[in-house]
């Protein structure tokens, strides 16, 4: 069977199926957040009172995803534990009359159907996504990076799923960044389609600013037809010696249409220290139970530091 025949079948088979599954890669080494990540996964960094990956899972559930595959490693057992039942604690909370807290813990364990797949070696994001192949099967699926919080207001995942339902094509989240920052991201050249949608014409991983085809950066959310697994399997290590998802997407572009869903704010790369700090401040300010007091603290600090 030729490649193009396989593609047509694969795309056609998945086209009729709704997007039900999500893959959350969380097996990276987190070297930008050392020394914290020596013993604790960066996906477990607290943003106010819950770990980063909980925000990511809640976003997926909010967008209608039912089945979530988390890619972990032997160092990341605390992620599994966080979403498991903790009966002793639930009983103790009930006994102390803290039923709401006990209920909260039970709800956390029931958030979605979670499955854990190990990536034995951190060989790159493309490789991590590839380890979910058997579980995803012949269905379209979304990928949410486990250290990337996307604010609800940005509506990115829901917008991408709507775009898929309309066009039956893979979709990637794209955000405009300053030209000098583009070398930190996958970069897309694209033609406008409608509203926030563009059609991607080419992709390049971490280009030098002078070589970048645009300032549209690939940002933390992807929706793929299962054809991507065939392309990942053929992808060799690229930038940084890792199997890059961008390289697999370049091959995908030869076979299928790829759309971009554009957005301008609301993304926090919590694997990066400065963005993590911003996430904590923004999320704390939005909290009903903390926001008021925290705003006052920030205002006092701003005055003391002559920031306003």
Minimum CB–partner distance for residue 78 and ligand UTP (Å): 13
132 binds ligand UTP (CB under 6 A): no
Decide if 245 contacts 226 (C-beta within 8 A).
Answer: no
28 touches ligand UTP by CB under 6 A = yes
Check binding of 122 to ligand UTP (CB under 6 A): yes
14 versus 119: smaller Cβ distance to ligand UTP: 119
For residues 102 and 224, which CB has a smaller minimum distance to ligand UTP in the complex? 224
Instruction: Pick between residue 145 and residue 218 the one whose CB is nearest to ligand UTP.
Output: 145
The interface region with ligand UTP, picked from 19-27, 62-70, 161-169, 251-259 by CB under 6 A, is 19-27
- CA torsion sign for 203, 208, 212, 218 is positive
Q: Is the dihedral of CA 296, 301, 306, 307 positive or negative?
A: negative
Q: Which residues pair with 72 in a beta bridge?
A: 118
With b for 16 or more beta-carbon neighbours within 10 A and e for fewer, the 274-294 pattern comes to ebbeebbeebbeeeeeeeeeb
Residues in the chain: 308
Report the half-sphere exposure of 160 (CA within 13 A, side-chain side).
Answer: 34
Tokens of 140: 């379209």
- If binding is defined by CB under 6 A, does position 146 make contact with ligand UTP? yes
Alpha helical stretches, state H, 171-212: none
Residue nearest to ligand UTP (CB): 28
Q: How far is the CB of 215 from ligand UTP (least distance, A)?
A: 20
The pattern of x and - marking residues 96 through 115 that bind ligand UTP according to CB under 6 A reads --------------------
Reading the block at residue 198, the tokens are 């563009």
128 binds ligand UTP (CB under 6 A): yes
Give contact residues for ligand UTP (rule: CB under 6 A).
25-32, 43, 71, 119, 122-125, 127-128, 145-147, 271
């Amino acid at each position: 069977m030729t490649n193009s025949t396989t593609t047509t079948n694969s795309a056609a088979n998945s086209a009729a199926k709704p997007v039900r599954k999500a893959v959350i890669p969380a097996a990276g080494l987190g070297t930008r957040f050392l020394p914290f990540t020596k013993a604790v996964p960066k996906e477990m960094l607290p943003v106010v009172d819950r770990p980063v990956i909980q925000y990511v899972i809640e976003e997926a559930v909010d967008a209608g995803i039912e089945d979530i595959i988390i890619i972990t490693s032997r160092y990341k057992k605390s992620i599994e534990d966080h979403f498991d039942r903790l009966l002793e604690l639930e009983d103790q909370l009930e006994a102390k009359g803290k039923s709401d807290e006990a209920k909260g813990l039970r709800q956390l364990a029931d958030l979605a159907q979670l499955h854990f797949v190990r990536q034995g070696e951190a060989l790159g994001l493309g490789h991590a996504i590839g380890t979910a192949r058997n579980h995803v099967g012949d269905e379209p699926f979304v990928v949410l990076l486990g250290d990337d919080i996307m604010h609800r207001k940005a509506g990115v995942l829901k917008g991408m799923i709507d775009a898929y339902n309309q066009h039956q094509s893979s979709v990637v989240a794209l955000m405009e960044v300053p030209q000098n920052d583009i070398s930190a991201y996958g970069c897309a050249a694209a033609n406008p389609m409608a509203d926030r949608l563009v059609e991607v014409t080419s992709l390049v991983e971490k280009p030098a600013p002078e070589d970048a085809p645009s300032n549209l950066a690939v940002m933390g959310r992807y929706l793929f037809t299962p054809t991507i697994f065939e392309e990942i399997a053929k992808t060799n290590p690229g930038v940084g010696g890792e199997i890059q998802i961008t390289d697999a997407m370049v091959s995908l572009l030869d076979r299928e249409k790829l759309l971009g869903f554009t957005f301008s704010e609301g993304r926090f790369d919590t694997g990066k220290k400065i963005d993590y700090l911003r996430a904590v401040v923004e999320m704390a300010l939005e909290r009903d139970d903390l926001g008021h007091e925290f705003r006052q603290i920030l205002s006092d600090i701003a005055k003391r530091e002559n920031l306003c």
